[in-house]
Amino acid sequence: MAKLNENYQNLKESYLFSEIAHRVAKYTQENPDKKVIRLGIGDVTLPLESEVVDSMHKAVDEMGNASSFRGYGPEQGYDFLRNAIKDYYTRNGVSVELDEIFVSDGAKSDTGNITDLFSVDNVVLIPDPVYPVYVDTNTMNGRKIVYLDANAENGFLPLPDESVHADIIYICSPNNPTGAVYNKEQLKIWVDYALKNDAIILFDSAYEAFISDESLPRSIFAIEGAKQCAIEFCSLSKTAGFTGTRCGYTVVPKDLKVTASNGEVMYVNKMWNRRQTTKFNGVPYIVQRGAEAAFSKEGMEQAQKMIGYYKENAKIIADTLDKKNMKYFGGVNSPYIWFECPNNMDSWTFFDYLLTNAQVVGTPGAGFGTNGTNYFRLTSFGNKENTIEAMERFAKLF
């Protein structure tokens, strides 16, 4: 008899965004005259930049022409794009090699699929609150998960607890949902902990492009020793508005190795290469040309303008909270603003309160873990006029 993976029985229903949609739909149906503004969404809204659009048009034409048509490409990504990514790292002061870069259809896929490389009997350390995919993908594999408290006391930037042993460690910085960003000294403590425990850090850097404070690390590989203990996941989703275009990349250092039970040294880079060449056929050529354009000088200037637009929204939200003396996290080097719900409301009560009284939609922190129960996430991915209006309404409430 075929036996299914019964770990799936331990998954919680992922109802956060459907529950939000349900409550908003009910409210708008009952109040058709009210203008609801959505600041809950973690998705970009600005269109693709012209450099990317032009480049993809060119690539579409190439694919329609016998002399320039491309069939199967290298599963790891075309060298033109891997080189562009390598150069992007170099500009950010980090050196990575071409064959350490793997182009993919997004950081979500890679942070999920990377779990293929690990045995079941690893202890996985995951901060709470956090992006739910880390918990779900490890639950699917039946791994033991230990949680690390991220809270207001540690600025939602927890450091290792030396009394807790972990084999695999998830770090997301700038963080989704809290917007908090680790500095170099803090990340160094994590790298040292991983090296001491022979643990591997899975570093989710999907929001690195929102870091404008040059003292903050945009890559874990800016930290000495990280190439012996870390894998980094990046994405063009938020950097260049690729959420519907799908392109990310993962850096697996060639120095990262583990001795197997039979004494053989196994290299994670070689394993990921084998995984990707066996289970993946690469990113569409057209998309890779778009991504290459996003990394060009002009492309990066246009991307920076988009990020600047979103960061202005973040500032509008942050300024409002400042004026009301409400403490928040994120909002400066991140598209997310995270704050404690006022008046001791839990996050779903506050969701309803804000929707009903200000017609503003945010995301209840409870969706990201226990430590989010009394917190709320607003995002800067809306349009500017709406963000201003939403925060004016917000200000009047408190």
**Residue in 33, 162, 213, 264 binding its own copies, rule: CB under 8 A:** 264
Q: Which of 94, 286, 316, 321 binds its own copies (CB under 8 A)?
A: 286
237 is in an annotated binding site: yes
Q: Are strands 168-172 and 200-204 parallel, antiparallel or unpaired?
A: parallel
39 is annotated as contributing to ligand binding: no
Q: Which is nearer to its own copies, 270 or 323 (CB)?
A: 270
Q: Three-state SS for 324?
A: coil
Strand spans (E) along 157-312 = 168-172, 200-204, 230-235, 248-251, 257-259, 265-267
Closer Cβ to its own copies, 223 or 332, answer by number: 223
Residue 131, annotated as binding a ligand: yes
Q: How many residues lie near its own copies (CB under 8 A)? A: 82
Q: Is the dihedral angle over the CA atoms 41, 43, 244, 116 positive or is it negative?
A: negative
Amino acid at 295: F
Report the site for its own copies in 287-316 (rule: CB under 8 A): 287
Task: Return the residue of 83, 112, 188, 386 that touches its own copies, per CB under 8 A.
Answer: 112
CB of 147 to its own copies, least distance (A): 18
Instruction: Give the span between the Cα atoms of 346 and 12, in whole angstroms.
Output: 20
Kindly state the smallest distance separating residue 12's Cβ from its own copies, in Å: 11
Looking only at Cα atoms, what is the longest distance across the chain? 69
Q: Among 173, 175, 186, 197, which residue sits at the site for its own copies (rule: CB under 8 A)?
A: 197
4 assigned to a ligand binding site: no
Nearest residue to 23 (alpha-carbon basis) of 38, 10, 13, 8: 38
Select 280 or 353, whichever has its Cβ closest to its own copies. 280
Residue 117 interacts with its own copies (CB under 8 A)? yes
Give the x/- contact pattern for its own copies in 216-255, rule: CB under 8 A: -------------------------x-xxxx---------
In the complex, the smallest distance separating the C-beta of residue 350 from its own copies, rounded to whole angstroms, is 25
- Dihedral of CA atoms 96, 102, 107, 113 in degrees, nearest 10, equals -120
Range 139-168, binding its own copies (CB under 8 A): 140, 167-168
Tell me if 95 is assigned to a ligand binding site.
no
The minimum distance between CB 263 and its own copies, in angstroms, equals 11
Cβ atoms of 200 and 231 within 8 Å: the answer is yes
The one among 102, 156, 190, 285 contacting its own copies by CB under 8 A = 285
Calculate helix-pair angle for 297-323, 384-397, nearest 10 degrees: 10
Closest C-alpha to 176, from 16, 367, 317: 367
> Residues 102-113, buried b or exposed e (16+ Cβ, 10 A)?
bbbbbbbbbbbb
Residues 32-61 that bind its own copies (CB under 8 A): 43-50, 52-53, 56-57, 60-61
Q: Are 269 and 99 in contact (CB under 8 A)?
A: yes
What is the C-alpha R_g of the chain?
22
- Which member of 258, 345, 388, 395 binds its own copies (CB under 8 A)? 258
Known binding residue 236? Answer is: yes
Binders of its own copies among 312-371, rule CB under 8 A? none
27 is in an annotated binding site: no
Q: Which structure tokens are listed for 64? A: 């329609």
Q: Which residue has the tokens 């039970």?
A: 261
What gap in Å lies between CA 87 and CA 232, rounded to an integer?
Answer: 16
User: Looking at this protein, which amino acid is placed at residue 90?
Assistant: T
Query: Would you say 254 and 97 are in contact if contact means Cβ atoms under 8 Å apart?
Result: yes
Q: Which residues in 68-107 contact its own copies (CB under 8 A)?
A: 68-73, 105-106
Binding to its own copies, residues 15-34 (CB under 8 A): none
Binding-site members for pyridoxal 5'-phosphate are 72, 107-108, 131, 176, 207, 235-237, 246, 281
Binding-site members are 15, 42, 72, 107-108, 131, 176, 207, 235-237, 246, 281, 377
Binding-site members for substrate are 15, 42, 108, 131, 176, 281, 377
